[in-house]
Amino acid sequence: MTDAVLLMAYGSPDRLDQVEAYYTDIRRGSPPSALLLEELVGRYRAIGGGSPLSRIVEAQRAALQAELAARGRALRVYAGMRHIEPRIGRIVEGMVADGVERFVAIALAPQKSSNGAGYRRAVDAALAGLGEGPPSVVVVDSWHDQPRFIEALAATTSEALARFPDPTRVRVMFTAHSLPARVVAEGDPYPDEVAGTAALVAERLGLAEYDVAFQSAGRTGEAWLGPDILEEIRRLARTGVTELVVRPVGFVADHLEVLYDIDIEAQAVARDVGVRLERARSMNDDPIFIAGLADVATAALPETQREPAGAP
C-alpha cells in the first residue's frame, strides 16, 4: 500500500498584490473594503512585504519527509493551503495521480476547533470529486498535547526566559488565535485545548503562575474569545509585571499573526506600559517539533502487514 502524509495550513499571501484576493477568499467572496485593504497591505508591508508562511510550510514538509525516512518510513509528504495556492484540493488530486492509496491529513493547527473543520471539508470535497476508489484518509484534527510538541514549546520558552537577568521573575503568557465567542456556547473544544496545551508547557517549566490570552480577533461585529493579549499586557503592567515572555501555542510558524500582531502591535503596547516583552521563537522546522509531527503521522498510519515470501 502506498502511504503518504498531507500537511494542511491556512495559507497567507507571499506578496502585497495577493492580499486582496486572499482576504476575499477568507471572506467567502466578499472583498475587504478599501480602508480595510489599505490597513491589511500596510501590515504585510511592515513585516517585509508578504508572509513567510508558504516557505516555512515547505520547510516543514521537507523536514518531516526527511525525519520519516530516517525512521525507515519512506513516506512522501505533501503540503496544501486552504486559502491560497497550492490549494488542498489540488494537492489531493496530485496525490491520487501519484498513486497514493492511503494518507494522513494533519492540520498545522494543534488545537481542534470548528474553524479547523474547514480542512476536513477541503479533503472530503477533493476525494468526492475523484469518483470510484479514492484513497483512504485519516484526518488528525487535534494534537494539542503531543509530547514532543509540548517539549519543543517548553524548550523555546526556556530560551526566551534565558534572555532576562532573572528568569524566575518573568511572567509567561501563552496565546492562540481568537475565535467568535459563540463557539464556547456551541461546545467547541478549542478554548479547553488551548488551556490544556498551556498547562502542559507550564507544568514542564515549573511555572507557578502564567496567563492564557487570545489574539488576532476578527472584525465581525460579534464578541470574540478573550482575554485579549493587548488588554492582558496592560493588566499585567498594572499589577507590577515588568518582564514578559509571550509563547504562542496555537501557531506553529511565523506569519502575520506572529510577526505583526505580537512583534509589532503587542510589542508597542508593552513598551507603552513599561513591560519588556520577549517572544519565544516559532516552531517552524524545529527538529523536536518535526519529530512530534512524525510521531503523529506514524501513529495514524500503522505499517501494513506484509505476507511472508511464498505465502499462498
Which grid coordinates belong to 97?
Answer: 495521480
Backbone angles phi, psi at 214, to 5 degrees: -115, 155
* Distance linking the first and last C-alpha atoms of the chain: 19
Residues 92/123, Cβ–Cβ less than 8 Å: yes
Residues 232/277, Cβ–Cβ less than 8 Å: no
Report the pLDDT value the prediction gives residue 304, as an integer from 0 to 100.
67
Report the pLDDT value the prediction gives residue 220, as an integer from 0 to 100.
81
| Enclosing H/E stretch for 212 | strand 211-215
Q: 54-84 pLDDT, tens per residue?
A: 999 999 999 999 999 999 999 999 999 999 9
Q: 173-214 pLDDT, tens per residue?
A: 999 999 999 987 889 999 999 999 999 999 999 999 999 999
Report the pLDDT value the prediction gives residue 170, as an integer from 0 to 100.
98
C-alpha 176/C-alpha 195 separation (Å) is 10
Which residues are CB-neighbours of 257 under 8 A, at least 6 positions away? 177, 215, 216, 248, 251
Which grid coordinates belong to 139?
Answer: 484526518
Q: Is the pLDDT of residue 309 over 60?
A: no
Q: Is the pLDDT of residue 306 over 60?
A: no
pTM: 0.94
C-alpha 25/C-alpha 235 separation (Å) is 36
Which grid coordinates belong to 213?
Answer: 490570552
Crossing angle of helices 190-205/147-161, nearest 10°? 60
Mean pLDDT of 204-231: 95
Percent of the chain with pLDDT over 70: 97
Which residues are CB-neighbours of 228 under 8 A, at least 6 positions away? 178, 213, 214, 215, 217
Q: Is the pLDDT of residue 310 over 50?
A: no
Domains and CATH numbers, the chain: 3-143+286-300 (3.40.50.1400), 147-279 (3.40.50.1400)
